Amino acid sequence: MVPYHAPVRQSTENASASKSTRKWSPARTETITGTTSRRTTPARWWRDVQIAYQAGLIPGATATTLTVAQDLVPRMDWTTGRVRYCWAGVMNRTGLSRTAVATHIRHLRAAGWLAWAEHGSHFNSKRARGQEGYAATATVYAAVVPPLFDQHVGNRIEGTGYTARVIGVTERGRQERIDRVQQDAAAKASRTPSLRVVKEEGQVQVSDGFSTTTHARPTKSKPRRTILGATVTRAMADRAERAARYIRPLVTWCQTASLRQLSWTLLDLVARGWDEIRILVWVREQAKTARGGVIWRPDRPHRYLAACLHLERILEAEAAQRAAEAENRAAPDTNPEWMAWLDTRSAAAKVPPPDIQPEPDLTVDGLTLEEINDLRTQARGELAAGRGELVRVMVEAHGLDVARRLLGQVVDPALRLSWVSRRTRLAVVA
């Protein structure tokens, strides 16, 4: 960042110069080198701004001024309190016009709550850093607290200007804080007391000169759960925070969510074993798929990503259900009794291949090979139709052994289907 050097205002001697030759420069009292306000951190700055607004210490401020101030806080550096102005981003996030944003920023700056750390210009900031290309100098503000507020709350200040710091509270400020605490306690005492009395752990009770200490029963804290119900571990939380810090600067529409909110939505992706690159690709695809390939800006990115995770789980469950139904329709029944019956049925219907020919020396009453093949074909057809008349006739006429040699493997299944004499059935069993 290029250090800011406040330009010097033109003297009264040059007041008669033409307006075309004048160059605008910020007032020295509104820069960090000339302000009387002290620097602070974003959290304290936001707290003090609200108190000052309620006390009427910011002239011209309205509720919209708080909205603009609140938009600056998440983007401030948590050590130095500096933030890039970026009026276009403030407009998109707050829905205000450029004139409104500039007006309320001016109210905060004039009241001593913002100071220029660097004023935006067309100066090439890359050239000052020794880099190639062109990038205009951005406007950078610093969060500061004016002396008027410190006098109002009774802070004791050491030093002056931007580097001053709070070292304590004056007697008036201490008394005001005591009065405020007492007022809050009186307000709580005036309320209807609860019917349930809760004893603090380690509270000492005195009974007949002896002190007895009551110990509250330890309660198990419920484990934290992710959006999809997984248990959160310390390692998962650390990895999710690192992923959020990596993704947030790279995805513009996620910058309105805090790191804590964004890391909470990334816990389920971390549980899958994904690294930062894969999570970054997934986050970017969610905005593209929502609007047909057009990148957009959801109002609450962490809630939108949570909804995407829920939708993915629903779609995966439906796909798994459809696959299971298709597999059940294609898979055979696994009932053991049914499978045994199918095996018996297939064995009964099993016939020899048609290319198997009988032995050349087999002759029965002068039958030729073609006639024997015709008999076998007829026997297989009857067996397939659930009948066995031909096999029964051959067994009764020539005996079981001859029928087996003549007709082959169709004899035994056909005998089970045909009604033969008792003597023949006994012979089959034997």
- Percentage of the chain beyond pLDDT 70 is 68
CA distance 56 to 49: 10
pLDDT at 123: 62
Residue 345: which pLDDT band, with cuts at 50, 70 and 90?
Answer: low
Residue bearing tokens 């690709």:
281
Rg (alpha carbons) of the chain, rounded to whole number: 45
Instruction: Return the domain boundaries, the chain.
Output: 26-169, 234-328, 337-429
CA distance 259 to 428: 85
Listed residue (10, 26, 69, 13) closest to 45, CA to CA: 69
pLDDT at 36: 93
| CB neighbour list of residue 51: distance below 8 Å, 6 or more residues apart | 149, 153
Q: Is the distance from CB of 57 to CB of 151 less than 8 angstroms?
A: no
DSSP 148-168: HHHHHHTEEEES-GGG-EEEE
Tokens of 69: 């101030």
Lowest-confidence segment of 62-71, 272-281, 355-364 by average pLDDT = 355-364
Report the greatest alpha carbon distance in the chain.
146
Highest mean pLDDT among 142-146, 182-186, 193-197, 419-423: 142-146
| β-bridge partners, 207 | 210
pLDDT at 326: 77
Residue 12: which pLDDT band, with cuts at 50, 70 and 90?
Answer: very low
Q: Is the distance from CB of 393 to CB of 419 less than 8 angstroms?
A: no
Q: Other CB atoms closer than 10 Å to residue 102's CB: what's the count?
A: 14
| Residue 20 pLDDT exceeds 70 | no
Residue bearing tokens 């707290």:
47
| Residue 82 pLDDT exceeds 60 | yes
Residue 172 exposed, middle or buried by CB count within 10 Å (0-12, 13-18, 19+): exposed
Residue 362: which pLDDT band, with cuts at 50, 70 and 90?
Answer: very low
Category of 154 on φ-ψ map: left (φ > 0), alpha (ψ -120 to 50) or beta: left
Lowest-confidence segment of 81-90, 111-120, 190-199, 308-317 by average pLDDT = 190-199
Q: Other CB atoms closer than 10 Å to residue 39's CB: what's the count?
A: 21
More confident of the two residues 36 and 192: 36
Lowest-confidence segment of 130-139, 283-292, 354-363, 395-404 by average pLDDT = 354-363
Task: Calculate mean pLDDT across residues 274-278.
Answer: 90
| CB neighbour list of residue 408: distance below 8 Å, 6 or more residues apart | 352, 356, 358, 376
pLDDT at 256: 87
pLDDT at 73: 92
Task: Calculate mean pLDDT across residues 49-53.
Answer: 93
Cα-Cα-Cα-Cα torsion 220, 224, 228, 229, nearest 10 degrees, comes to -10
Listed residue (118, 130, 145) closest to 47, CA to CA: 145
CA distance 265 to 242: 13
Task: Calculate mean pLDDT across residues 271-285.
Answer: 89
CA distance 110 to 107: 5
Length of the chain in residues, anyone?
A: 430
pLDDT at 163: 92
Q: Which CATH class is domain 26-169?
A: mainly alpha
Per-residue pLDDT of 387-417, as tens digits, reads 777 877 888 777 777 788 778 777 777 776 6
- With a threshold of 0.75, does the pTM exceed it? no
Q: Is the distance from CB of 117 to CB of 137 less than 8 angstroms?
A: no
| CB neighbour list of residue 268: distance below 8 Å, 6 or more residues apart | 226, 227, 228, 230, 309
pLDDT at 115: 93
- Percentage of the chain beyond pLDDT 90 is 23
Cα-Cα-Cα-Cα torsion 345, 348, 353, 356, nearest 10 degrees, comes to 170
Angle 51-56-59 (CA atoms, 0-180°, nearest 5)?
120
Q: How far is CA 426 from CA 382, 388, 418, 429, in A?
A: 23, 17, 14, 5
Beta strand extents in 171-276 (DSSP E only):
204-207, 210-213
pLDDT at 413: 76
